[in-house]
């Protein structure tokens, strides 16, 4: 599933092609992509609206709509496993997996392409309700080291599943949690409440550095599904410390990376850099 860096990359690349355009038509080929709305209701909501801005919240793409200078709702997209977005010239063929196409002025079309049909592109009128329950943005100003350390102390959960909990921190996924935990030298099974101020600061900094570096390299592509809107793969997978490297040497200490399952998620850890927490008898 595309995580925060991949979604941020998509937003940055579609933004200059999309913002300022007026939606002139909507072709819905798979109605479930609309998240419960009918194709007719979706068309009535978006056709004639202008895309005022494009941004990201957690793993969601958000497009602000307006009519006559007034807010007219939002398009909220989630790529899930295989979703992709493209802004192309009219006549571009999205192939058999095109689910929604929004015709824009000046001969452009926003395509939502999704092989497995899990992705969503919804029209919403209440953004706060749509994002209710999401935690802070890990690259946002509100995500401070002090607030993060305090939040960890209040939780008696293992670090890996806690960091994947979107209500705790919004946007983190399996890849970047593994990478950040390794950089911070913390084991994914460690209880959050046992992480002191200094390790918490290390983890906070590692999360932000890992995400920023992945965004700079346009995310990670380790299968055929994630590609940028320009059709190119990301390159951060070449920088992985532990993710997907089971049996290979740790870049820090040389010990073989191990794969284990934590909270039903495949997890990669270095036994040298990330000592396993001792359990009480």
* Catalytic residue annotation: 2-3, 59, 265
Q: Are the CB atoms for 123 and 36 separated by under 8 Å?
A: no
Q: d(Cα 191, Cα 210) in Å, to the nearest integer? A: 22
Bridge partners (DSSP) listed for residue 57: 60
Q: d(Cα 256, Cα 250) in Å, to the nearest integer? A: 6
Q: d(Cα 229, Cα 74) in Å, to the nearest integer? A: 21
> For 80, how many CA atoms within 13 A lie in the half-sphere containing its CB?
14
Where b means 16+ CB within 10 Å and e means fewer, 56-72 reads bbbbbbbbbbeeeeeeb
Q: Are the CB atoms for 31 and 39 separated by under 8 Å?
A: yes
Q: Specify the residue for token string 């000046």.
A: 106
Long-range contacts of the stretch 226-233 (C-beta < 8 A, 24+):
226/2, 226/6, 226/84, 227/84, 228/9, 228/10, 228/13, 229/10, 229/13, 229/14, 229/84, 229/85, 229/86, 229/87, 230/13
Backbone region of residue 246 per phi and psi (left: phi > 0; alpha: psi in -120 to 50; beta: other values):
beta
How many residues are listed for the chain in this entry? Answer: 281
């Amino acid at each position: 599933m595309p995580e925060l860096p991949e979604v941020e990359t998509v937003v940055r690349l579609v933004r200059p092609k999309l913002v300022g355009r007026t939606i002139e038509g909507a072709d819905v080929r798979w109605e479930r992509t609309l998240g419960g709305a009918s194709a007719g209701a979706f068309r009535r909501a978006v056709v004639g609206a202008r895309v005022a801005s494009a941004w990201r919240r957690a793993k969601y793409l958000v497009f602000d709509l307006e009519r006559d200078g007034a807010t007219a709702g939002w398009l909220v997209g989630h790529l899930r496993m295989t979703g992709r977005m493209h802004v192309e010239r009219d006549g571009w063929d999205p192939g058999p997996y095109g689910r929604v196409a929004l015709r824009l002025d000046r001969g452009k079309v926003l395509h939502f392409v999704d092989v497995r049909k899990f992705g969503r592109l919804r029209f919403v009128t209440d953004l706060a309700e749509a994002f209710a329950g999401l935690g802070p943005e890990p690259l946002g100003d509100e995500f401070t080291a002090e607030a993060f350390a305090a939040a960890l102390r209040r939780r008696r959960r293992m670090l890996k599943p806690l960091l994947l909990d979107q209500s705790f921190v919004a946007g983190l996924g399996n890849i970047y949690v593994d990478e950040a935990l390794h950089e911070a030298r913390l084991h994914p099974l460690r209880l959050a409440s046992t992480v002191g101020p200094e390790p918490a600061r290390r983890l906070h900094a590692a999360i932000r550095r890992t995400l920023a570096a992945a965004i700079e390299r346009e995310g990670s592509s380790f299968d055929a599904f994630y590609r940028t809107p320009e059709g190119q793969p990301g390159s951060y997978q070449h920088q992985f410390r532990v993710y997907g490297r089971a049996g290979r040497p740790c870049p820090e200490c040389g010990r073989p990376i191990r794969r284990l399952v934590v909270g039903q998620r495949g997890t990669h850890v270095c036994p040298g850099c990330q000592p396993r927490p001792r359990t009480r008898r």
